[in-house]
Amino acid sequence: MALELTFIPALVVILVTAALGRLLSKGLRQPAIFGELLLGMILGNLIILAGSAQAPIFDIAGIGILLLLFLTGLGLNFEEFKRLEVASSIVAITGVILPLVLGYFVTIYFGFSHIVALFVGVALVATSIGVGASILAEQRMLRTRLGTLIMGAAVIDDVIGVVMMSALMGVVATGAVPLKETFLLVSLAILFFIVSLTVGIRLFKKLSEKLTLGRENLLMLGLIMALVFGLATQGIGLAAIIGAFVAGVILGQSHYARRLREHVSLIGGSFFIPIFFVATGMSFNVGAFASIGLFAVVLVAVAIIGKVVGCGLGAKASKFSGRESFAVGIAMIPRAGVELVLLKLGLDYGIIGADIASAILVMVLVTTLVTPPALWNALKMVKSKKRFNNNAGVLVGGKRHG
């Protein structure tokens, strides 16, 4: 017996769920989103949103994920980001290749066709950036070298994921890789990043020197920027969250940065972002677990191992410590955004059946739910090692940074 709710009651229930989720997380010493996701999942099986409430709630949740990425961009350490360009690319690429290859061969091994195997491989590529960003922010590690590496790699791997998805869908539709379209997508994406991160940054830095804005107007400008850039990347064919992230990076280099970060974290953290995580939890179909087969279990394992080992090796090769590399791998585990789009396309085009679809859904579910506590602990390990080293440094007369 599920209770049907209209908009405002649904909103109240979701906000209360988020508040309870935070309390639960605090009690269990887990990151806030763990409780929000978990209670959201339970809530999703207790209530049904009325037709008229569904669209607004998910629209607000959509603004939530845009604001989360905008905030992450605002908080990015851009100088470090540029220094870590190569390392981020290495981590992204190693973290793409391993899951792709593993996913492909596992699916072939289970007796599926070449094209289904390719589909599953691509479905393991793109990291869902929101979970990692949220936990890095909560641990105040967004601006560290490690946090910067993770965010850079996640953005690059999302772009690779979208490009692969487009190419795959072209193959399905025409039987050949759509070279022209793929080339266009990649070119537009590169053009967007270059223009944004050069002209865009300079423009808004100048603007912020000349134009002083009151807090309401400043926040309004920020929100408009996040939405407009989200629309722009969506228009190109990339995810809207990439645009919101870039908008954040641009404004993050202006004189507005500090105040804007404070304001966006308030408006996002108290309303939009918790609604996003609870709504995400609600959209998980627990029924998918019931139909779980051996393939789903193997797929989850491949998804986790692929990123932890793939990205971990990439980070290690870029001279990050063992613990740090492990944390990078963990942070890249969650899949959701690109995968869910791909899932829908796969079903629409008849490439995959309900079996593969529910296995992918379980993979999305498990990777999203296991990451918060795992990353939380991995980051604490990194911190405690640092503190230990620093203390040791003091003992032997070295410099203390801690």
Contacts to a copy of itself from residues 363-382, by CB under 8 A: none
Does residue 274 interact with a copy of itself by CB under 8 A? Answer: yes
- Min CB(288)–a copy of itself separation in Å: 27
Label residue 314 exposed, middle or buried (CB < 10 Å: 0-12, 13-18, 19+). buried
In the DSSP assignment, the letter for residue 338 is H
Give the phi and the psi of residue 194 in degrees, each rounded to 5: -65, -50
Does residue 286 interact with a copy of itself by CB under 8 A? Answer: no
- Min CB(68)–a copy of itself separation in Å: 13
Does residue 212 interact with a copy of itself by CB under 8 A? Answer: no
Give the phi and the psi of residue 48 in degrees, each rounded to 5: -120, 135
Among residues 60, 184, 297, 301, which is the contact residue for a copy of itself, using CB under 8 A? Answer: 60
What is the rounded CA–CA span in Å between residue 312 and residue 119?
24
Among residues 2, 3, 4, 16, which is the contact residue for a copy of itself, using CB under 8 A? Answer: 16
Does residue 270 interact with a copy of itself by CB under 8 A? Answer: yes
- Min CB(177)–a copy of itself separation in Å: 31
Does residue 31 interact with a copy of itself by CB under 8 A? Answer: no
What is the rounded CA–CA span in Å between residue 218 and residue 205?
14
What is the rounded CA–CA span in Å between residue 390 and residue 393?
5
Does residue 394 interact with a copy of itself by CB under 8 A? Answer: no
> To the nearest 10°, the Cα dihedral for 330, 331, 335, 336?
150
User: CA neighbours within 13 Å on the CB side: how many for 201?
Assistant: 17
Does residue 341 interact with a copy of itself by CB under 8 A? Answer: no
Q: Which stretch binds a copy of itself (CB under 8 A): 40-48, 49-57, 311-319, 394-402?
A: 49-57
Among residues 267, 292, 345, 381, which is the contact residue for a copy of itself, using CB under 8 A? Answer: 267
* Between 52 and 187, CB nearer to a copy of itself: 52
- Min CB(340)–a copy of itself separation in Å: 18
In the DSSP assignment, the letter for residue 2 is P
What Rg do the C-alpha atoms of the chain give, in angstroms? 21
Contact between 251 and 223 under an 8 Å Cβ cutoff? The reply is no
- Min CB(7)–a copy of itself separation in Å: 5
Please give the size of the binding site for a copy of itself, defined by CB under 8 A: 39
What is the rounded CA–CA span in Å between residue 147 and residue 76?
9
Q: Which stretch binds a copy of itself (CB under 8 A): 9-17, 39-47, 191-199, 281-289?
A: 9-17
Does residue 22 interact with a copy of itself by CB under 8 A? Answer: yes
Contact between 325 and 316 under an 8 Å Cβ cutoff? The reply is yes
Contacts to a copy of itself from residues 215-254, by CB under 8 A: 215-221, 223-224, 227-228, 230-231, 240
* Between 62 and 373, CB nearer to a copy of itself: 62
Structure tokens at 240: 């809207």
* Between 80 and 138, CB nearer to a copy of itself: 138
Nearest to 123 by CA among 388, 306, 264: 306
Q: Which stretch binds a copy of itself (CB under 8 A): 14-22, 99-107, 127-135, 191-199?
A: 14-22
Site string for a copy of itself, 157-186 (x = CB under 8 A): ------------------------------
Listed in sequence order, the residues at least 6 apart from 50 whose beta carbon sits closer than 8 Å to its beta carbon are 4, 5, 6, 7, 10
User: How many helices, marked H, and strands, marked E, lie in the chain?
Assistant: 19, 2
Does residue 146 interact with a copy of itself by CB under 8 A? Answer: no
Does residue 20 interact with a copy of itself by CB under 8 A? Answer: no
* Between 55 and 394, CB nearer to a copy of itself: 55
Contact between 332 and 153 under an 8 Å Cβ cutoff? The reply is yes
Does residue 61 interact with a copy of itself by CB under 8 A? Answer: no
Structure tokens at 46: 């207790």
SS3 113: coil
Q: Tell me the β-bridge partners of 48.
A: 4
In the DSSP assignment, the letter for residue 277 is H
* Residues found near a copy of itself in the complex (CB under 8 A): 7-9, 11-12, 15-16, 18-19, 22, 52, 55-56, 59-60, 62-63, 215-221, 223-224, 227-228, 230-231, 240, 263, 265-267, 269-271, 274
